[in-house]
Structure 1
Amino acid sequence: MPIIMSVLGFLILSIVPAHAYLDPGTGSMLVQGLIGALAIGGAAVSGYWNKIRWAVRSFLGRENNGKNGGK
Protein backbone atom coordinates (compact mmCIF):
# COMPACT_ATOMS: atom_id res chain seq x y z
CA MET A 1 0.00 0.00 0.00
CA PRO A 2 2.76 2.55 0.73
CA ILE A 3 4.27 1.87 -2.69
CA ILE A 4 0.97 2.66 -4.42
CA MET A 5 0.57 5.87 -2.44
CA SER A 6 4.11 6.99 -3.25
CA VAL A 7 3.65 6.25 -6.97
CA LEU A 8 0.34 8.16 -7.02
CA GLY A 9 1.95 11.06 -5.15
CA PHE A 10 4.83 11.15 -7.65
CA LEU A 11 2.40 11.11 -10.60
CA ILE A 12 0.29 13.91 -9.12
CA LEU A 13 3.31 16.08 -8.35
CA SER A 14 4.84 15.55 -11.80
CA ILE A 15 1.86 16.94 -13.74
CA VAL A 16 2.84 19.68 -16.19
CA PRO A 17 0.61 21.94 -18.33
CA ALA A 18 -0.39 20.34 -21.63
CA HIS A 19 -0.67 23.57 -23.69
CA ALA A 20 -3.52 21.90 -25.57
CA TYR A 21 -5.04 23.41 -28.70
CA LEU A 22 -8.64 23.14 -29.84
CA ASP A 23 -8.97 23.69 -33.56
CA PRO A 24 -12.08 25.20 -35.19
CA GLY A 25 -13.25 21.73 -36.25
CA THR A 26 -13.62 20.74 -32.61
CA GLY A 27 -15.83 23.74 -31.88
CA SER A 28 -17.99 22.92 -34.88
CA MET A 29 -18.34 19.33 -33.69
CA LEU A 30 -19.42 20.53 -30.24
CA VAL A 31 -22.05 22.84 -31.78
CA GLN A 32 -23.39 19.99 -33.93
CA GLY A 33 -23.63 17.77 -30.86
CA LEU A 34 -25.55 20.45 -28.98
CA ILE A 35 -27.98 20.94 -31.87
CA GLY A 36 -28.48 17.17 -32.12
CA ALA A 37 -29.14 16.89 -28.38
CA LEU A 38 -31.74 19.67 -28.60
CA ALA A 39 -33.44 17.97 -31.55
CA ILE A 40 -33.61 14.64 -29.72
CA GLY A 41 -34.94 16.35 -26.60
CA GLY A 42 -37.63 18.11 -28.61
CA ALA A 43 -38.70 14.85 -30.24
CA ALA A 44 -38.88 13.12 -26.86
CA VAL A 45 -40.96 15.92 -25.35
CA SER A 46 -43.29 15.85 -28.35
CA GLY A 47 -43.81 12.10 -28.02
CA TYR A 48 -44.54 12.26 -24.33
CA TRP A 49 -46.79 15.29 -24.79
CA ASN A 50 -49.00 13.32 -27.16
CA LYS A 51 -49.27 10.47 -24.64
CA ILE A 52 -50.17 12.85 -21.83
CA ARG A 53 -52.78 14.59 -23.97
CA TRP A 54 -54.31 11.24 -24.95
CA ALA A 55 -54.46 10.12 -21.30
CA VAL A 56 -56.19 13.35 -20.22
CA ARG A 57 -58.73 13.10 -23.03
CA SER A 58 -59.56 9.49 -22.19
CA PHE A 59 -59.82 10.36 -18.48
CA LEU A 60 -62.26 13.18 -19.20
CA GLY A 61 -64.37 10.93 -21.42
CA ARG A 62 -63.79 12.79 -24.68
CA GLU A 63 -63.59 10.77 -27.83
CA ASN A 64 -60.29 10.56 -29.65
CA ASN A 65 -60.48 11.00 -33.46
CA GLY A 66 -64.01 9.62 -33.77
CA LYS A 67 -63.34 6.21 -32.20
CA ASN A 68 -65.90 4.19 -30.26
CA GLY A 69 -68.84 4.83 -32.55
CA GLY A 70 -68.41 8.58 -32.96
CA LYS A 71 -70.05 9.58 -29.68
Structure 2
Amino acid sequence: MPIFIGAAGFLILSIVPAHAYLDPGTGSMLVQGLIGALAIAGATVSGYWNRIRWAVRSFLGRGNNGKNGGK
Protein backbone atom coordinates (compact mmCIF):
# COMPACT_ATOMS: atom_id res chain seq x y z
CA MET A 1 0.00 0.00 0.00
CA PRO A 2 2.80 2.52 0.72
CA ILE A 3 4.12 1.94 -2.82
CA PHE A 4 0.80 3.08 -4.30
CA ILE A 5 0.73 6.19 -2.12
CA GLY A 6 4.34 6.98 -3.06
CA ALA A 7 3.62 6.46 -6.75
CA ALA A 8 0.51 8.65 -6.61
CA GLY A 9 2.49 11.35 -4.79
CA PHE A 10 5.27 11.19 -7.40
CA LEU A 11 2.78 11.51 -10.25
CA ILE A 12 1.05 14.47 -8.63
CA LEU A 13 4.31 16.29 -7.92
CA SER A 14 5.74 15.70 -11.39
CA ILE A 15 2.95 17.44 -13.31
CA VAL A 16 4.26 19.83 -15.98
CA PRO A 17 2.33 22.03 -18.42
CA ALA A 18 1.58 20.22 -21.70
CA HIS A 19 1.24 23.27 -23.99
CA ALA A 20 -1.16 21.19 -26.07
CA TYR A 21 -3.01 22.54 -29.08
CA LEU A 22 -6.49 21.45 -30.10
CA ASP A 23 -7.33 22.36 -33.66
CA PRO A 24 -10.89 23.33 -34.68
CA GLY A 25 -11.55 19.84 -36.09
CA THR A 26 -11.16 18.31 -32.64
CA GLY A 27 -14.38 19.91 -31.38
CA SER A 28 -16.25 18.60 -34.39
CA MET A 29 -14.84 15.11 -33.78
CA LEU A 30 -15.94 15.22 -30.14
CA VAL A 31 -19.46 16.29 -31.14
CA GLN A 32 -19.67 13.46 -33.69
CA GLY A 33 -18.54 10.99 -31.05
CA LEU A 34 -21.19 12.26 -28.65
CA ILE A 35 -23.92 12.00 -31.30
CA GLY A 36 -22.78 8.47 -32.16
CA ALA A 37 -22.81 7.44 -28.50
CA LEU A 38 -26.34 8.83 -28.09
CA ALA A 39 -27.49 6.93 -31.20
CA ILE A 40 -26.03 3.67 -29.90
CA ALA A 41 -27.61 4.24 -26.48
CA GLY A 42 -30.99 4.94 -28.11
CA ALA A 43 -30.82 1.79 -30.22
CA THR A 44 -29.87 -0.28 -27.19
CA VAL A 45 -32.71 1.12 -25.09
CA SER A 46 -35.15 0.58 -27.95
CA GLY A 47 -34.07 -3.03 -28.36
CA TYR A 48 -34.41 -3.82 -24.68
CA TRP A 49 -37.73 -1.96 -24.49
CA ASN A 50 -39.12 -4.13 -27.30
CA ARG A 51 -37.93 -7.29 -25.54
CA ILE A 52 -39.55 -6.20 -22.27
CA ARG A 53 -42.77 -5.27 -24.08
CA TRP A 54 -42.85 -8.63 -25.87
CA ALA A 55 -42.24 -10.51 -22.61
CA VAL A 56 -45.03 -8.64 -20.80
CA ARG A 57 -47.46 -9.18 -23.67
CA SER A 58 -46.60 -12.89 -23.77
CA PHE A 59 -47.02 -13.14 -20.00
CA LEU A 60 -50.42 -11.48 -20.14
CA GLY A 61 -51.49 -13.78 -22.98
CA ARG A 62 -52.03 -11.10 -25.60
CA GLY A 63 -49.53 -12.63 -28.05
CA ASN A 64 -49.54 -10.94 -31.44
CA ASN A 65 -53.31 -10.25 -31.65
CA GLY A 66 -53.80 -12.17 -34.90
CA LYS A 67 -51.09 -10.37 -36.80
CA ASN A 68 -48.78 -12.28 -39.12
CA GLY A 69 -51.12 -15.29 -39.26
CA GLY A 70 -51.07 -15.97 -35.53
CA LYS A 71 -54.11 -17.34 -33.68
Q: Normalising by structure 2, what TM-score?
A: 0.70
2:26 pairs with 1:35 = no
Please give the per-residue CA displacement for 1:26-68, whole angstroms capped at 9, x wherever unaligned: 1110000000000000001111111000000011111215278
Q: Which runs of 5+ in 1 are unaligned?
A: none
Greater CA radius of gyration, 1 or 2? Answer: 1
CA RMSD of aligned residues (A): 2.5
Count of residues in Structure 1 that have an aligned counterpart in Structure 2: 63
The higher-RCO structure (CA 8 Å, 6+ apart) is: 1
The 1-side partners of 2:57 and 2:14 are apart by: 65
SS of the aligned residue for 1:41 comes to: helix
User: 4+ residue runs of structure 1 moved beyond 2 angstroms?
Assistant: 11-16, 67-70
Task: Note if contact 2:64-2:70 (Cα within 8 Å) is conserved in structure 1.
Answer: no
Q: Aligned equivalents of 2:70 and 2:26: distance in 1? A: 57
Superposed, 1:1-71 pairs within 5 Å as: 9=10, 13=13, 15-66=15-66, 69-70=70-71
